[in-house]
Structures are given as C-alpha cells and as structure tokens.
C-alpha cells in the first residue's frame, strides 16, 4: 500500500523530477506544475508498489527501467481522440494527398504521425486515405507513427479502443466501417492497420528515423518545449522531410522565421508549412 508520503512531493524531489523529465523528453516544466506531476506520478507509484516519490526517483536512474518508461508515458501522454480538430484531416484529404498523387498515382506517399500518443491520429489518417483512395492496396501509401513512450506505442499498435474512445470523434457509420467489435472492444480493421507502423522515437534525438516523409503531423507538441529545444525539434523535423515536404503543427502553435527551413502556406483556413531549401 502506498503511504501518505507519496501524496506530498518535497521541493527537492519536485526539482529532481523536473530535471529528469527535461533530460528524458525535452518537456519544460517548472515548480508551478507540482500538482500535475503528483497527479500523473501517483498512479505510477501504485502500479509498482512504491511508497514514496523518493523510491521512484531511485528506480528511474536506470533509463531503461520499466519504472522510467512508465514515468515517461505518464508525463507525455495527452488526451486525444479521433479526427481531433478536423481541419488538418480536411487539409490532408482535399489538398495534400491529391497534390501528391495527382501527377502520378504510382508515387510513394509516406506520412508521419509524430508524438502519436494512443494512435487515434494515425488511424484517422488511414481512414482519410481509405475514403479518397478506396482500395489501399492499389497505392504505395505508408503511415509511420511514433512516440517517446514505449508503453503508449505498444498500446497504439494494437488498434483497440473502448466504446467511449471510438465515439469521441467518430460517427456510428465510421465506427461500423472501420472497426470490428469484439467482446465490447473496438478493433481497427486489418486493412487500415496494414499501412501503419508504430515505433518509439524521441523527437529531440531521432537517431532511429531512417525514412524521409512527404508529410509530418506533429501537433500539440511544440508548446511544451523551451526555445532552444523548439529550434532543435524543427531542425529534426526538417531533416525528416523530403524536399517540399509538408509539416502540420497544432492550431495554437506557430513557426516563425527564426526557425528557418519552412515557408508558411494556407488552404481554406488551414495553415501548414512547406520545407524550403
């Protein structure tokens, strides 16, 4: 049983967690985020039967430990749902994919869902591709989804969701078309899963990314980083894009000239960025 000590993080422990999270993920927290850290990490303590935050700090010294992976997952996993914000998916459907395949339908199209969380964004992309291409086997399309949390990547790759999760963002018609209901759980159909691969990647240290992409969605990530890491993030994303590749970021995020690499574009109210140089 977790003791009451676990419910109160000392100032020293708070600063140690802030430093550790910054080192592991690039996420820039401060002491005002005490409640966030305690609320996210309390379940981690219970999961591993730890009695205090100091015990957790000892466990996460080993970057490869299961406790450290659970901490990263707890801190980085954000609420998400299918077709979140809608506009980026309309952009994908009516502009980006038609532009890529309009000249040569045999072209290879590679899309990335960066910081994919529990997978809803990647599967929403696959639904868009299915709706406009009909038979995915006739096209060379591939979605690579990645996240810093090994735990969340494993979960996302299963493509399995609760009724509550699928009803957030999806009509009954889409649920019926794209999922199989098995024992009250909703499994993404194999055709969609076949064009998506999931992997663990740290966007600030993307050594494992070998592919180059036509399109990268990296939404609701930038605002968590300080300026130095924002610059590094955009450098890395630019390096992962093909010439004239497209970057889509969150509605409340923006790229200015100080980061270079990109030219701002818009389509029917949706903003996106094209790689230059």
Is beta strand 270-275 parallel, antiparallel or unpaired with respect to 241-248?
antiparallel
Q: What number is the average pLDDT over the span 62-90? A: 84
Q: Is residue 164 part of a domain?
A: no
Instruction: Give me the number of domains the chain comprises.
Output: 2
The continuous run of DSSP H or E covering 88 comes out as helix 87-91
Residue 22 sits in a domain whose CATH number is: 1.10.155.10
What tens digit of pLDDT does each residue of 257-277 get?
667 789 999 999 899 999 997
Query: Which residue among 26, 57, 76 closes a domain?
Result: 76
Query: Which residue among 23, 52, 76 closes a domain?
Result: 76
**One domain for residues 26 and 95:** no
Cβ neighbours of residue 124 closer than 8 Å, sequence gap 6 or more: 82, 83, 84, 89, 169
Q: Is residue 183 part of a domain?
A: no
Q: Is residue 48 part of a domain?
A: yes
**One domain for residues 122 and 18:** no
**One domain for residues 70 and 139:** no
pTM to 2 decimals?
0.84
**One domain for residues 68 and 113:** no
**One domain for residues 105 and 130:** yes
**One domain for residues 264 and 147:** yes
Is beta strand 160-161 parallel, antiparallel or unpaired with respect to 262-267?
unpaired
Q: How many CB atoms lie within 10 A of CB 213?
A: 22
Q: How many CB atoms lie within 10 A of CB 167?
A: 15
156 pLDDT tier (thresholds 50, 70, 90)? very high
Integer Rg of the chain from CA = 20
Between vectors from CA 167 to CA 166 and to CA 172, what angle results, nearest 5°? 100
Q: Are 144 and 199 in contact (CB under 8 A)?
A: yes
Between vectors from CA 233 to CA 121 and to CA 86, what angle results, nearest 5°? 25
**One domain for residues 68 and 92:** no
Q: Is residue 166 part of a domain?
A: no
Q: Is residue 71 part of a domain?
A: yes
**One domain for residues 147 and 235:** yes
pLDDT recorded at residue 76? 76
Rounded Cα–Cα distance for residues 130 and 138 (Å):
11
Q: Of 93-97, 248-252, 259-263, where does the model show the most confidence?
A: 93-97
Q: How many CB atoms lie within 10 A of CB 265?
A: 13
Residue 94 sits in a domain whose CATH number is: 3.40.50.150
70, 94, 125, 224 from 23: Cα distances, Å:
16, 39, 31, 13
What tens digit of pLDDT does each residue of 169-228 get?
999 999 999 999 999 999 999 999 999 999 998 888 877 666 799 999 999 888 778 888
**One domain for residues 106 and 217:** yes
Rounded Cα–Cα distance for residues 184 and 189 (Å):
15
Mean pLDDT over the full length of the chain: 88
Q: Is residue 180 part of a domain?
A: no
Domain that holds residue 33: 4-76
Query: Which residue among 42, 76, 110 closes a domain?
Result: 76
Phi, psi for 246 (deg, rounded to 5): -115, 135
């Amino acid at each position: 049983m977790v003791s009451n000590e676990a419910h109160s993080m000392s100032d020293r422990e708070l600063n140690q967690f802030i430093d550790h999270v910054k080192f592991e993920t690039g996420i820039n927290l401060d002491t005002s985020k005490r409640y966030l850290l305690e609320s996210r990490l309390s379940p981690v303590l219970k999961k591993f039967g730890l009695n205090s935050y100091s015990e957790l700090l000892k466990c996460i010294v080993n970057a490869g430990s299961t406790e450290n992976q659970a901490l990263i997952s707890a801190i980085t996993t954000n609420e998400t749902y299918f077709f979140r914000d809608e506009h980026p998916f309309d952009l994908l459907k009516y502009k980006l994919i038609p532009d890529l395949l309009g000249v040569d339908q045999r072209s290879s199209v590679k899309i990335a869902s960066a910081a994919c969380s529990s997978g809803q964004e990647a599967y929403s992309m696959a639904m868009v591709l299915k709706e406009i291409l009909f038979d995915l086997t006739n096209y060379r399309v591939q979605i690579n989804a990645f996240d810093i949390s090994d735990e969340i990547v494993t979960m996302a790759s299963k493509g399995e969701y609760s009724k509550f999760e699928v009803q957030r963002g999806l009509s009954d018609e889409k649920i019926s078309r794209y999922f199989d209901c098995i024992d009250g759980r909703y499994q993404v159909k194999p055709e969609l899963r076949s064009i998506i691969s999931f992997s663990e990647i740290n966007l600030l240290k993307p050594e494992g990314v070998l592919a180059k992409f036509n399109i990268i969605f990296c939404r609701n990530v930038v605002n968590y980083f300080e300026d130095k890491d924002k610059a590094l993030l955009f450098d890395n994303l630019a390096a992962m894009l093909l010439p004239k590749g497209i970057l889509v970021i969150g509605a409340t995020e923006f790229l200015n000239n100080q980061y270079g690499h990109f030219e701002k574009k818009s389509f029917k109210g949706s903003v996106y960025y094209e790689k230059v140089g």
